[in-house]
Copies of this chain bind each other. A is one copy, B any other.
Amino acid sequence: MAEKATITDVARYANVSRQTVSNVLNSPGLVREETRNRVHEAVKALGYRVNQAARQMRTGRSRIIATRIEPDRDGINGSVFDRFLHSLTASAAQAGYRILLYTADDERSEFATFDDLIGAYEPDAFVLTNTFHRDGRPSWLGERGVPFVTFGRPWDGTGGVHGAAHSWVDVDGAAGTAEATRHLLDTGHRRIGFLGWPAGSGVGDDRRSGWSRTLAAAGVDPTGLDRATADGVADGEAAARDLLDAGHPVTALVCASDSLALGALNAVRLMKTGERPDAPPPVVIGFDDTPVAKAVGLSSVSQPLAEAAAGCVSLLTRLFDSAPSRPPEPAAPPAHLLLQPSLVVRGSA
């Protein structure tokens, strides 16, 4: 196997100085075309690659983006993060960055990991997912001048959609549930229920609002048509049954997640064999378009995860490029990207 070539080898091979090689790589405009070509040939011939460690030492930039890998949580919705992570890795690579992973069990240990990572590997930026109400991470990183983007809006008062303190990318969940609700209205449903999570979670409240807003606009009072529960199949089943067994039952259900929707589907199935054998079975729509939804033929709201990941990377590189120089500090004003989800209709929904 060929020994690793250095910039010196390339320079010797191309009959130029080391500095010229560096210029070709970093500021090609400064070098005469003929020289540039000679250097490029040498690079190819020797299989030369710039050594990140050396470059990082000089420039202070690691071309590394760190992100936390989530534990599998309750499961079904876990695949959303994984698809995002895959796209993030691809988008980052295209922009010349690599993704470095870390884990953390709680906020304290995440801060400690920040310290470790920043001290040792000097990532150029962080991508924060699963942001939540009163998430302390943005301010921690912000105070230390470490660039970052969140996938998820800041749900606190501290910087709403306008004038937010940092860059973020998110998917418009309300638009998704609104589309689902509209679709059901268009197919003749009126009593459309909603299965969601207890108030207080930004994401959950957002998704609920799309449903209630759309229903109200169509002249249907949403009061009493929704249930809040923990995110799980069994929870969804119980809550759905409650809604389905009501005196004046719903004929369709919009859910805040595929887990809940799967539970609702179970409830529907059990109901069908029992009471009301004549009425058409209630329709269920999930959220996240997970593999499970596809597997069981469940309609679901699909998030544009690849676009979200690409958005994170481009917001980040925007920060870098506008940075003064060495330590990549945010210079450009924070920007935002709110993407539209889309409803995937399956089965009989």
Residues in A lying within 8 Å of B, measured CB to CB: 1, 4, 47-54, 56-57, 62, 64, 69-72, 74-76, 78-79, 82-83, 85-86, 89-90, 93, 98-103, 115-122, 143-145, 232-233, 259, 262, 290-292, 294-296
Contacts and interface: CB of A to CB of B under 8 A. Distances in A.
A138 to B, nearest CB: 15
Nearest to A98: B100
A259 B115 contact: no
A53 B100 CA distance: 15
Given A47-B115, A54-B57, A99 B100 contact: yes
A53 B62 contact: yes
Most chain B beta-carbon contacts within 10 A, residue among A54, A62, A75? A75
A77 to B, nearest CB: 9
Contacts of A145: 1
A99 B89 CA distance: 12
A278 to B, nearest CB: 17
Which 5 residue pairs spanning A and B have beta carbons closest together? A75-B291, A49-B119, A233-B295, A53-B56, A99-B101
Given A79-B79, A99-B101, A292-B76, A70 B50 contact: no
Most chain B beta-carbon contacts within 10 A, residue among A53, A102, A122, A292? A53
Number of copies of this kind of chain in the complex: 2
A312 to B, nearest CB: 14
Contacts of A233: 295-296
Contact of A102 (B64, B78, B79, B89): B89
A72 B76 contact: no
Given A86-B69, A102-B98, A115-B49, A290 B93 contact: no
Nearest to A273: B273
A4 to B, nearest CB: 7
Contacts of A48: 119
A72 B62 contact: no
Contacts of A93: 102-103
Contacts of A79: 72, 75, 78-79, 82
A49 B116 contact: yes
Nearest to A88: B101
Contacts of A76: 291-292, 295
B71 A86 contact: yes
Contacts of A292: 75-76, 292, 295
Contact of A72 (B75, B82, B117): B82
B115 A74 contact: no
A232 B295 CA distance: 8
26 contacts: A1-B143, A1-B144, A49-B116, A49-B118, A49-B119, A49-B120, A51-B120, A53-B53, A53-B54, A53-B56, A53-B62, A69-B86, A72-B86, A72-B291, A75-B79, A76-B292, A78-B79, A82-B82, A86-B103, A89-B101, A98-B100, A99-B100, A100-B100, A100-B101, A101-B101, A232-B295
